[in-house]
Structure 1
């Protein structure tokens, strides 16, 4: 029994530093994962911000079209349809009923 005490002391003496090294390694890995996650999150946030800005710009243009020109947009669209020619080889006319009457 007296011979086991030095053996146990040697085992614990070797095991404790190994556990300390392993714990330090795990801590470094965790820190690296956090930094990678933070960088990825920041990149995605920047992409979302850019996308939102583009959408806001488009909405502002649409609001300007509706408010500046009033509600005569439908009239302008119809005017464009009336001036389109079928014989230009552009395909089916937009206003088929008008073409059938002529």
Structure 2
């Protein structure tokens, strides 16, 4: 091997090692994050490898589904209340005073 080629390889070797180290570190971090957040892992050929389901996981999903349903119901009632408040705020003052006067007349 000529000294020029040897010098070129010596110069490229740290760059190649750095690129490989960054790629491997990125793969490890990505895999760790997928495991932490419950995403399926990829097998050797790209197929999904799903983690085993435990009783704790099934119970957690059930509780989260119940909480989601409760929050959706609460959100619906909040939307209804907000629509009522918006209607009251956007009504003209004359209409509101007329309705108040009509209510007073009924009371008398």
TM-score bracket for the superposition, by shorter chain length? 0.3 to 0.5
- Which structure ranks higher in relative contact order (CA pairs < 8 Å, sequence separation ≥ 6)? 1
Provide TM-score, normalisation by structure 2.
0.41
Which is helix-richer, 1 or 2? 1
Provide TM-score, normalisation by structure 1.
0.43
Larger radius of gyration: 1
